[in-house]
Structure 1
Amino acid sequence: MTSENFEEISMKDMMSEIENSMKPIHGGDIIKGEVISVSDSEVLVNIGYISDGIIKREEFSNNEVNLKDTLKAGDKIEVYVVKVRDEEGNVVLSKKKADELKVWRDLEESFKTGATIEVKVNEVTKGGVIAYVKGVRCFIPASHVSNSFVKDLNQFVGKDLVVKVIEFDMEKKRVVLSRKEVERKEVENKKEKLWTSLKKGEKRNGVVSRLAKFGAFVDLGGMDGLIHNSDLSWKRVNHPSEVVKEGDKVEVYVIDFDKDKGRISLGLKDIQGDPWNNVARKHKANDILDGTVVRLLDFGAFVEIEPGVEGLVHVTQITDENITKPSQILKVGDRVKVKILEVNAEEKKMALSIKEAENKTTEEIEKYSDKDEGNYLFADLFKDLKF
C-alpha cells in the first residue's frame, strides 16, 4: 500500500469518525444553531454538524426583512431541517418553517394542557372572528367571543384577547379558540372569592347592573346581589328607578346571603338612619299630624307622616260615613290630617284615624267660636286649617 493510499484511507476514516461523532439530523427536525455570517441573500449557520446549514432569504420569514438588520454573527436561532444535503453538500434550513412548526406545537400543547394564550383579533368573518398566533390563522366562533351576548363583532377587531384552544387539528390546519371559556373560569373564580369573603352587615361597593319591578341588582364584582325595593330607601319605593339607575356606583350593606341558593340580599338605606328610631320620642298617642296617602288596600289606607314612617288608617277610621273600601273616599297622593291612636316603634306600627282628627278639629273650632272674642279667634284658627 502506497503512502498516498494510506493517507486517503486515513482521511476517510477520520471524516467517518467525525461524522459518526456528530449528532445525527434528519429532514423535519427542529434544531438550534449559531449564526456564522449574514449576507443579503442567505444566512450561514453552524448547527454542530459536519456541514453548515444555509437559510435562503425566502426561507427566513413570511415577511419582507433585511437579513443584515435582523441577524448578526453569534446569534442563536432555531431552524427547521429541509434537506440534510443539497447538491453542494450543505444542509438546507428554514427559519420560517421552524417558527411555524413551533407555533403549531405550542398550540397543541395549549390544547392538551388547557393553558391560555393571548391573541389579537384581525378581522370579522362569517360566523365569528379571525385571530393570528404568530402567523397561524385561528378561528373564534361568535358564540365563543364572549361569555355575554355580542351584537356587533366588529368591536373586537384590533383587541387583544386571552383565549383557550378548544379544537386543534394540525393536519387540517384548523385551530378554534374560545374567549368565553376563559371568562367563565374567571367568573367562577371571582364568585368563589366573593363567597369566601362575604360578611353580614359589612359595606360593599358595587355597580347597579339591572333594574326589576321588585328591586335593583348590583354587581359586587363577579356576582349580583339584590336590593329589594323595601331596602332601597326608608321612604316607600314603588319602582327602583325612583332611587337608582343602571350603571350607578353604590355602597351597599350585606343583609344576608345563601351560597347554596346563590342569593345575596343587599340594602342601600343606612341601617343607623332608620326614622323609626326616633318615632317614640317625636310622636305619641292623640297627636294630630299632616300626612300623605301612599297606599290603598281593601281594609285601610297607609298614610306617611314623615319620610319612612307610615301608619295604617283602618277603613272604619276614615269617615263616619258607611264605606266598604278606602278608595271610595281617598286616593293615593291625598294630603290628610290624622290622629295617632297607637304607636309601636319596636314593631314599626302605627294606628291612625282620619275621622277622629277631623272631629278633633271640629271640636276646636266649636270651642273657640263659643267665646266672646270668638269671631276673630275663629277666623285666625280657620285660616291655618287645611281641608
Structure 2
Amino acid sequence: MELIIADSAGFCFGVNNAVKIVFDLAAETNERIYTLGPIIHNEQVVDKLAEHGVVTIDNPDEAEGPAKVIIRAHGVGPGTIKQLQERGLEVVNASCPYVVKIQKLVSEKYKDGYQIIIIGDKKHPEIIGINGWCDNTAYIIETDEQVNSLPHMEKNICVVAQTTFIREKWEKIIKSLNKRFENVIKFDTICNATDKRQVEAEKISKEVDMMLVIGGLNSSNTNKLYEICRSNCERTYKIQTASDIPPVDIKKFKKIGITAGASTPDWVIKEVIHKMSELDKQDFEMSFADAFESSLVTLTTGQITKGRIIGYNQSEVFVDLGFKSDGIIPIQEFSNDPDFNPEKSLKVGDEIDVFVVRVNDGEGNVVLSKTKVDAVKGWDTIESAFETKKPVAVKITEKVNGGVIGISSGVKIFIPASQISDRFVKDLSEFVKQVLQVQIIEVNKQKRKVVGSSRVLIEKNKEAASNEIWNSIEVGKTYNGVVKSLMDFGAFVDIGGVDGLVHLSELSWNKIKHPSEVVKVGDEVVVSVLEFDRDKKRISLGYKKQADNPWNKAAEKYEVGNVITGKVVRLVPFGAFVEIEQGVDGLVHISQISNVRLGKPGDVLKVGQMVEAKITELDIEAKKISLSIKEVNPIDPVGAKKEEAAVEPGEEIPTEHKEEMTNTIGESLTDEDNK
C-alpha cells in the first residue's frame, strides 16, 4: 500500500493563528476566556481548549464580565462586536486575515452604493458575519441556477465569495451573473490556501483507490473537499479521527490518499497516518508534521526563486513556493504594464520566477515581486541589445517632457521626441499604449538610464526599402502606397520608402480642382509608375484606372446620329461645351446652335441649361465629340430673323481658339513642368 498525503492538509494560516491566540491567552491570563462559537469546527481542538478553561458561547448574552471574548476565524459583523463591547467585554479578534479583507471590501463598496452579492452558504458563520458589514442587505446565492431568481438591479453590483467556496462553482455563477447583469464587478475572494487544498485533493483523488478526508462534521471546507474527492473516487470517506477509519481491508488498495480540512490539527492527521500504518503492518516513523516540514523549502529576503501560480484576483497573485506559507504578489509588482489584465494574462499552474521581498508580512504571507526579477533579467537583455544593436519592442506607457517613457523586459526606456519618428510629431500622446520597435542608443546602468530611438530604425528601414525600389522600378509596375501629403498640383504617395507624385490630372478622369476631392492623407492606394528619373530621384505615378475611363464607356454607348440630352458646362466665343455624362463633354460649335447668326453663344445659352443635341462627329482616340443643337431643336434669339450662320459648316475654327478647344475637350495638359 502507498499512502499519498496532501502537502496542504490541515491548518491553514487563519485557523492556526486563531487557535494559537486562544491557547496563548489561556496560558497567560487567569481571566475568564470565551470563544464566540467554536474557535474552529473540530471537536478535538474545542475539547482541549475546554480543558484549559476556555468556554464556548453561542451569543454575547451568555458571557459574564470581566472576560475576554475571542472572535473566531470565521469573523462576525460590526453589530456583534459593538454588542460585546457594550457588555463591558474585551474583544480579541482572531478573524482570518482573508475574511477581514472581504469584510473591509464589502463595507467600502456598500458605502459607495453597490449592491452586494455573496456567493456561499447563507447559514455559514463566515457569510453571516460578512453580510453584517453591509447592514445585512446582501443577496446570498450558492448555485448558478439561483442567479435567475435575483431581482432586477439598477445599482452597480459587487460580488464576493466565501473563502472556502469551490472555484468551479464560482466561475459558473460569475458567468451567469455577467449574462444577466451589465454592471457587475467581481472580487475572487476564495482563499488561496483553500484553492490550493482543493486543487491538490482533486489531483490525488483521481490517482488513488481510496480517499480519506479528515475534518469536523460541520466544517465547510472539509465538506467541500469530500464533495470534490467523492466525484473522482467512489471509496471516499469523511472521518473526524483515526477511530472513524472504515473497517476495510486496506491491503487490497495499491494507493490511498489522505487530505484534511483547514480545521484539522496535525496531531489528528498524525494519528490517522499511524493507524493506517498499523493496519498495513508498515512502520511510518516520520510523523505528518515531520514529513511536511522536511518537504518545505527555505526562503530568505532578496532571494530569487521559482513558484507556481495557484490563484489571483484583481489586486493580488497567489503563488505556491513549496514553503509553509504561500506567496502573494501585488498586481503592481507583477507587471509594469498599466493595461495588464490578470484574467487575460494569467493562468493557474504557470511557473514563474519571483523575488522575495519579505518572508513574513505580519499575517504569515510571503511578499513577492515579479517586476524586480524582470528588471534584473531585463537589464541583461537591454545591455545585450545595446551591444548588438538588436531592436527591442517597447510599450509606451506615458508622455513626459521632451519625449515618452516605455517598458521593455521590465526596464524603463526614455525615447526623446526627436527620436520617436522621422517626421515632426506635434502630439506625442498618440504613441501612448503603442508598441514600438526601438534601437537602444544609450545605457547607463548606474543611473538606471536607458535611451532608445525609433527614428534610427525607421530611417534604416526606409533606406533599405528605397534601395530595393530603385533597383527594381520600371514603368507600368504597380505598388501599394499610402498618401503622405496633398498639394494643389497633386498627391505625394509613399510606395515603401520612396515618395512619388500623382499629378492632379492622374488622380481622376473627371476634372478636379484639388486632390482632396479624390484622396486624403493616410489613404491606402494602388498606383502605377508612369515615368521615373533615378538621378533626380523623381517618380511620376498614376492613380486613375483605364477601366474607369469614361471615354472608353462612351465608345460603347454612343455613335454618330444619336440624340443626347446634356448640360451646358462652359461657354466660349466659338461655341458651348455640353456634358454628356460625367467626364465626357461634347462641343456645340456656334454655327450649330441657332438658325440665325449669333454674336456669341451666350445670346441664347447659359451655363447649367439642359439641351438636346445630335452627335455629328465622334473621335474617341482624340477625346472629341461634335454636337449640333440646330439639327434637333435650334435655339434662336427672341424676335431674331434668319441670317447667315456666324461660321459656315466646315469653316476653320479661329486659330486663337484651337488650343483652348483641345485642352477643354481632351482634358490633356501639355505643360510638362506641371507633371
TM-score w.r.t. length of structure 2 = 0.34
CA distance in 2, matches of 1:159, 1:225: 29
1:166 to 441, 457, 464: 441
RMSD between aligned residues: 4.8
CA distance in 1, matches of 2:398, 2:610: 64
- 1:263 lines up with 2:539 in the alignment: yes
* Same amino acid, percent of matched pairs: 42
Q: Classify 1:183/1:311 alpha carbon distance in 2 versus 1 (closer, same or farther; 3 Å).
A: same
- 1:131 lines up with 2:375 in the alignment: no
CA distance in 1, matches of 2:390, 2:430: 25
| Paired residues of 1:100 and 1:134 also in contact (CA < 8 A) | no
2:394 to 90, 110, 119: 119
CA distance in 2, matches of 1:332, 1:203: 40
CA distance in 1, matches of 2:526, 2:412: 46
CA distance in 1, matches of 2:530, 2:540: 8
- Hey, what does 2:599 align to over in structure 1? 322
- 1:347 lines up with 2:617 in the alignment: no
* Structure 1 residue identity aligned to 2:421: S
CA distance in 1, matches of 2:482, 2:411: 40
1:39 to 290, 298, 317: 298
Deviation at 1:163, TM superposition (A): 0.8
| Paired residues of 2:604 and 2:635 also in contact (CA < 8 A) | no
2:379 to 84, 93, 103: 103
Residue segments in structure 2 that go unaligned for 5+ positions in a row = 1-296, 306-316, 323-371, 638-675
CA distance in 2, matches of 1:137, 1:250: 38
1:196-227, Cα deviation, whole Å (9 max, x unpaired): 45453355545555555544555544455544
SS in 2 for 1:58: coil
CA distance in 2, matches of 1:245, 1:159: 24
- 1:140 lines up with 2:384 in the alignment: no
Deviation at 1:240, TM superposition (A): 4.7
Q: Classify 1:68/1:289 alpha carbon distance in 2 versus 1 (closer, same or farther; 3 Å).
A: closer
CA distance in 1, matches of 2:570, 2:429: 50
Q: Classify 1:256/1:274 alpha carbon distance in 2 versus 1 (closer, same or farther; 3 Å).
A: farther
1:88-138, Cα deviation, whole Å (9 max, x unpaired): xxxxxxxx89x859937x656644654322333333322112234555543
Q: How many residues matched?
A: 282
| Paired residues of 1:232 and 1:269 also in contact (CA < 8 A) | no
CA distance in 1, matches of 2:408, 2:617: 76
* Structure 1 residue identity aligned to 2:558: K
- 1:191 lines up with 2:466 in the alignment: yes
Q: Classify 1:274/1:201 alpha carbon distance in 2 versus 1 (closer, same or farther; 3 Å).
A: farther
Q: Classify 1:190/1:302 alpha carbon distance in 2 versus 1 (closer, same or farther; 3 Å).
A: farther
Q: Classify 1:162/1:68 alpha carbon distance in 2 versus 1 (closer, same or farther; 3 Å).
A: same
CA distance in 2, matches of 1:290, 1:66: 80
SS in 2 for 1:191: helix
Deviation at 1:357, TM superposition (A): 5.6
1:181 to 421, 439, 456: 456
Q: Classify 1:298/1:60 alpha carbon distance in 2 versus 1 (closer, same or farther; 3 Å).
A: farther
| Paired residues of 1:210 and 1:218 also in contact (CA < 8 A) | yes
CA distance in 2, matches of 1:327, 1:263: 44
Deviation at 1:140, TM superposition (A): 0.9
Question: How do residues 157-306 of structure 1 correspond to structure 2 at under 5 angstroms?
Answer: 157-169=432-444, 174-206=449-481, 212-240=487-515, 242-243=517-518, 250-259=525-534, 260-271=536-547, 275-276=551-552, 279=555, 282-284=558-560, 288-296=563-571, 301-306=576-581
Deviation at 1:269, TM superposition (A): 2.6
Residue segments in structure 1 that go unaligned for 5+ positions in a row = 1-37, 42-56, 71-95, 363-387
CA distance in 2, matches of 1:301, 1:216: 32
* Structure 1 residue identity aligned to 2:599: N
